[in-house]
A and B are shown apart, each in its own frame.
Chain A
Amino acid sequence: MPEKKETQGKKTEKEMTLKVSDIDPKFKYKISKLSGAENVLLCFQCGTCTADCPIARFNDFYRPRKLIRMTQLGLKDKLLSNDSIWLCSTCFTCIDHCPQDVGIADIVRALRNLTVKEGKMPAVYKELASNILKTGYAYVIPELRLKKREKESLPSLPKANLEKLAKLFDVTGLSKMLEMVRT
Chain B
Amino acid sequence: MPKYLIFLGCVIPYRVSSYEISTRKVLAKLEVELVDMPEFNCCGFPLDPINHDTMLTLAARNLCLAEQQNLNIMTLCNGCFGILNHVNKELKEDKKIKEKVNAYLKEVGMEFKGTITVKHLIHVLAQDIGFEKIKDTVKKPLNPLRVAQHIGCHVVRPGKVVGFDDPENPTTLKNLIKATGAKCLDYMDETECCGNPIIGVNSEIPLQLAREKLDHVRAVGAQALITVCPFCHMMYDLHQVRIERKFNEKFRIPVLHYPQLLGLAMGMSPDELALKDLRIDASELLNLL
Interface residues of A (CB under 8 A from B): 1, 3, 34-35, 54-55, 58-59, 86-93, 95-96, 109-110, 112-113, 116, 121-122, 124-125, 127-129, 132, 136-139, 141, 145, 148-149, 152, 154-155, 157-161, 164-165, 167-169, 171-174, 177
**9 additional contacts (CB under 8 A) given A122-B200, A164-B108:** A34-B52, A113-B51, A138-B46, A139-B11, A171-B57, A171-B104, A173-B53, A174-B53, A177-B51
**Most interface-central of A59, A92, A110, A129 (chain B CB within 10 A):** A92
**At the interface, yes or no: B284 with Cβ under 8 Å from chain A?**
no
**At the interface, yes or no: B32 with Cβ under 8 Å from chain A?**
no
**A95 engages B158 (CB within 8 Å):** yes
**A141 engages B204 (CB within 8 Å):** no
Closest-by-CB residue of B relative to A170 is: B107
**A168 engages B57 (CB within 8 Å):** yes
| Residues of chain B contacted by A93 (CB below 8 angstroms) | 153, 157, 191, 193
**Complex: A58 Cα to B90 Cα, angstroms:** 33
**At the interface, yes or no: B254 with Cβ under 8 Å from chain A?**
no
Residues of chain B in range 168-182 having any CB-CB distance to chain A below 8 Å? 168
CB distance from A159 to the nearest CB of B (A): 6
| Residues of chain A contacted by B41 (CB below 8 angstroms) | 132, 136, 160-161, 165
| Residues of chain A contacted by B38 (CB below 8 angstroms) | 158
**A125 engages B157 (CB within 8 Å):** no
**Most interface-central of A3, A34, A58, A155 (chain B CB within 10 A):** A58
Closest-by-CB residue of A relative to B195 is: A89
| Residues of chain B contacted by A138 (CB below 8 angstroms) | 10-11, 42, 45-46
Closest-by-CB residue of B relative to A175 is: B54
Contact of B51 among A86, A124, A174 (CB under 8 A): A174
**Complex: A58 Cα to B42 Cα, angstroms:** 30
**A124 engages B209 (CB within 8 Å):** no
Interface residues of B (CB under 8 A from A): 8, 10-11, 13-15, 17, 20-21, 24, 36-42, 45-54, 57-58, 61, 90, 97, 104-105, 107-108, 153-154, 157-160, 167-168, 191-193, 195-198, 200-202, 204-206, 208-209, 274
**B157 engages A35 (CB within 8 Å):** no
| Residues of chain A contacted by B200 (CB below 8 angstroms) | 122, 124-125, 127-128
Contact of B205 among A59, A136, A148 (CB under 8 A): A59
**B20 engages A154 (CB within 8 Å):** yes
Closest-by-CB residue of B relative to A121 is: B50
| Residues of chain B contacted by A59 (CB below 8 angstroms) | 202, 205
**B204 engages A3 (CB within 8 Å):** yes
**A1 engages B201 (CB within 8 Å):** yes
**B202 engages A112 (CB within 8 Å):** no
**B153 engages A92 (CB within 8 Å):** yes
**Complex: A39 Cα to B74 Cα, angstroms:** 32
**B197 engages A89 (CB within 8 Å):** yes
CB distance from B37 to the nearest CB of A (A): 4
A-B contact pairs, 28 of them (CB 8 A): A54-B209, A87-B205, A90-B48, A90-B153, A91-B157, A91-B192, A93-B153, A95-B157, A96-B158, A113-B49, A116-B51, A125-B49, A137-B13, A137-B14, A139-B15, A141-B10, A149-B13, A152-B274, A154-B20, A157-B13, A158-B38, A161-B108, A164-B108, A167-B108, A168-B54, A171-B104, A172-B51, A174-B51
**A152 engages B37 (CB within 8 Å):** no
Given contacts A89-B198, A174-B51, contact A145 B17 (CB under 8 A): yes
**Most interface-central of A54, A109, A167, A173 (chain B CB within 10 A):** A54
Closest 8 CB pairs of A and B: A124-B200, A91-B193, A158-B40, A92-B157, A138-B10, A139-B14, A164-B108, A128-B46
Given contacts A90-B153, A96-B158, contact A136 B42 (CB under 8 A): yes
